[in-house]
Amino acid sequence: MLRHLATRSLCVLLLLLSAACNDEATAPSREALIAQLRTAAAAAALASPPPPAPASPEALALGQVLFTSRLLSGNRDTSCATCHDPLFATTDALSLSIGTGGVGRGPNRQLTPLRRLHPRNAPDLFLRATDLQTSLLRDGGATRLEDGSYRPPEEAEQPYRDGVAGLFSAVALFHVTQRFDMRGNAGEEAIDGTPNEIAAIDEDDWHSMWDALAVRLREEATMRPLIAAAFPGEAPESLSLERIFSALDAFAAQAFDSRDTPFDRLLSGDDSALSDSALRGGLLFATTAGCTRCHNGPLLADGTFHNLGVPFVGLGQEYEEPYDFGRASQTERTTDRYAFSTAPLRNTAATGPWMHNGAYTTLEAAVRHHLDPRDAILRYDWQQLDPLLQSTWHGAPIDNARLLSTLDPLVATPISLSDRDFDDLIAFLREGLTDADALARVATIQAP
């Protein structure tokens, strides 16, 4: 009897095993997965970006000092690295940034009286200084035109002048004119007690602000020799801020380069670069999950704008409060409302909070939102936000109706993924798209 039972159990076990074997036989082999992912990647033009242009060591040195120098802000208290902090993967790890006057670093940074939270989340800066970018800022405010010239955001009363060297420095030129980012309020004194001469300039006169900042930089004892070295044979007095900031383009292209994620290695022939889970996730990314409809090309971003229905969080933009019209602020087309630029995805796991306003504080929630935005806004958990921001969430039916009125059709049909598929997709983003060497290299940049 016992023996009979044992034989039976053995049979059942064998049956189960053979079922499992059959299952294995239907799942594609690792080799097949790799081949499928490479084909799907090619179809979506996913590829490694080209290497940055070479630059002189002197230009790179000046660029790094400019990036980390608080002299660039009217009050001498805020640098580019304050909000794009090398220790936080070139972000501040806050949902919404805090500019001049703020105290503390990274996620510990705090707002002080008379200041305003930035309406937007500080994006990371990886691959933002490559020629592949045709516009920057989340609404595409800074644009490179076909003739190679640059157009500033709509709010600019004056055009860019000659000498702007790249989109990256075009954004820097914008940032230094913005009161709550870097310029400060009229009548303020800088933290060292000197008058804030940049803040005193007329609101619309960007050219004078740039000229005043160029004077400040050229006259500073530590900056002057660096400027002279980066532009040999040119008198420092003749250098405009546009020219000086060209060192930022050179520096950013090198320092924020990122082309060595495991996914890049897979594309260049390394079959062992991705785990099985990340491989499956990559294939979902490029097929069933529909991600490459927008996250395509070498940057994993299509260079255009989409309304994903991201919950309204934050104070919004001036004249649009409490909303941020996104792309419509630039085009003035109501159909472009709430559309934002597709985010490049290399190193995304390290650069939260996510979305243009940091509405999501986990990568999983940001990705899940894409699968069914209508459902996501109804279930939005505002408790994930910093207490300061919780009351800035607008999620009443009338807000949701506004938000969904221009929802991108590409995300209007819900996509359902099994739990395993979802985990695989996240594994692809976390493991496959993280360039550990680039993150480590960036973290060595000496910041404030």
Contact set with ligand HEC (CB under 6 A):
72, 78, 80, 82-84, 97, 99, 118, 120, 122-123, 125, 128, 136-138, 168, 171-172, 175-176, 181-182, 248, 285, 289-291, 293-295, 306, 308, 310, 340, 342-343, 345, 348, 351, 354-356, 363, 366-367, 370, 408, 410-411, 425, 429
Please give the helix or strand (H or E) that residue 340 lies within, else none: strand 340-341
Give me the least distance between CB of 127 and ligand HEC, in Å please: 9
Please give the helix or strand (H or E) that residue 78 lies within, else none: none
Distance between CA atoms of 358 and 354, rounded to whole angstroms? Answer: 5
Nearest Cα neighbor of 87 from 106, 100, 101, 73 is 106
Residue placing its CB nearer to ligand HEC in the complex, 92 or 264: 92
Give me the least distance between CB of 345 and ligand HEC, in Å please: 6
Torsion sign, CA atoms 38, 44, 49, 50: positive
Residue placing its CB nearer to ligand HEC in the complex, 9 or 262: 262
Give me the least distance between CB of 56 and ligand HEC, in Å please: 19
Residue placing its CB nearer to ligand HEC in the complex, 172 or 273: 172
Give me the least distance between CB of 240 and ligand HEC, in Å please: 15
Residue placing its CB nearer to ligand HEC in the complex, 271 or 332: 332
Residue placing its CB nearer to ligand HEC in the complex, 123 or 262: 123
Distance between CA atoms of 253 and 60, rounded to whole angstroms? Answer: 10
Give me the least distance between CB of 4 and ligand HEC, in Å please: 53
Give me the least distance between CB of 326 and ligand HEC, in Å please: 8
Give me the least distance between CB of 81 and ligand HEC, in Å please: 8
Give me the least distance between CB of 414 and ligand HEC, in Å please: 11
CB atoms within 10 A of CB 294: 21
CB atoms within 10 A of CB 384: 17
Distance between CA atoms of 274 and 332, rounded to whole angstroms? Answer: 44
Residue placing its CB nearer to ligand HEC in the complex, 260 or 364: 364
For residue 90, give the 3-state DSSP assignment: coil
Cα 43 to its chain centre, rounded Å, is 24
Residue placing its CB nearer to ligand HEC in the complex, 168 or 210: 168
Structure token digits, residue 171: 């954004």
Distance between CA atoms of 387 and 11, rounded to whole angstroms? Answer: 60
CB within 8 Å of 264: residues ≥ 6 apart: 48, 435
Give me the least distance between CB of 7 and ligand HEC, in Å please: 49
C-alpha radius of gyration, the chain, whole number: 25
Give me the least distance between CB of 17 and ligand HEC, in Å please: 35
Residue placing its CB nearer to ligand HEC in the complex, 6 or 100: 100
Residue pair 112/101 in contact by the 8 Å Cβ criterion: yes
Distance between CA atoms of 220 and 65, rounded to whole angstroms? Answer: 12
Distance between CA atoms of 7 and 207, rounded to whole angstroms? Answer: 89
Give me the least distance between CB of 80 and ligand HEC, in Å please: 3
Alpha helices by DSSP H, 323-372 = 328-331, 363-371
Nearest Cα neighbor of 251 from 71, 86, 48, 49 is 86
Structure token digits, residue 85: 């902090």
Residue placing its CB nearer to ligand HEC in the complex, 231 or 285: 285
Q: How many residues does the chain have?
A: 448
Query: Is omega for the bond preceding 311 within 30 degrees of 0, making it cis?
Result: no
Nearest Cα neighbor of 174 from 148, 150, 145 is 150
Residue placing its CB nearer to ligand HEC in the complex, 9 or 82: 82
Residue placing its CB nearer to ligand HEC in the complex, 26 or 416: 416
